[in-house]
Chain A
Amino acid sequence: SQTIHQWPATLVQPVGSPLSLECTVEGTSNPNLYWYRQAAGRGLQLLFYSVGIGQISSEVPQNLSASRPQDRQFILSSKKLLLSDSGFYLCAWSVQGAETQYFGPGTRLLVL
């Protein structure tokens, strides 16, 4: 069966520091991968998606970036965090061509 992992689970970072969140999927090949951010009372916002290694599409302009160095690894990064980057970050995957997305456990980021 497929599983999706995210780490760290919780992160507290000062403003201006760099960020790296990691997501890996097991038990499937060539998945579509997604990064979402969840802010309190605002639902989920799609940040990036990827259909293959090195292929990244951005949904919203921001100071975050994403990379996919391996087939089942998706990384969310920032060079300098802002206060507004605080939130709950969720990674998700789907089978190529299928409709359903499956979510990881999330990373809670607090920028102080």
Chain B
Amino acid sequence: AQSVTQLDSQVPVFEEAPVELRCNYSSSVSVYLFWYVQYPNQGLQLLLKYLSGSTLVESINGFEAEFNRSQTSFHLRKPSVHISDTAEYFCAVKTNSGGSNYKLTFGKGTLLTVNP
């Protein structure tokens, strides 16, 4: 079975500072990886995903994540954050085992707080 570890439950940063939210996963088979963002009292929005191909994936709002197979990581980064980036971020993994595996396994989330 797969698992996801988000190493930081809370990350406070100042506006315009860089940020990295860490995500490590464990799986015996190849995986698909996702980052979702959740604003207060809202559902989850897909931020970016790695399915195949280039290991560096980007979102439209300046976030990027790099799939590192050897370190089993998928850390999320942004070079300069805005107040509006304050939200909870969830890393998720889905195994690429075919068949009827529909399960997304989520980390416990990282609350990013951007201060002025």
Question: Which residues on A are within 8 Å of B, measured CB to CB?
Answer: 6, 32, 34, 41-44, 46, 49, 51, 59, 90, 92, 94, 99-106, 108
Contacts and interface: CB of A to CB of B under 8 A. Distances in A.
Contacts of A99: 32, 49, 51, 94
Interface of B: 4, 9, 32, 34, 36, 41-46, 49, 51, 90, 94, 100, 102-104, 106-109
B102 A32 contact: yes
A42 B4 CA distance: 12
Q: Please list the 4 inter-chain residue pairs (A to B) with the smallest Cβ-Cβ separation, ordered nearest first.
A: A103-B44, A103-B43, A43-B108, A43-B106
User: For the complex, would chain A's binding face be called helix, strand, loop or mixed by DSSP majority?
Assistant: strand
A92 to B, nearest CB: 8
Contact of B106 (A44, A49, A105): A44
12 contacts: A32-B102, A41-B9, A41-B108, A41-B109, A43-B4, A43-B107, A43-B109, A46-B103, A49-B103, A99-B32, A103-B45, A106-B42
Contacts of A46: 103-104
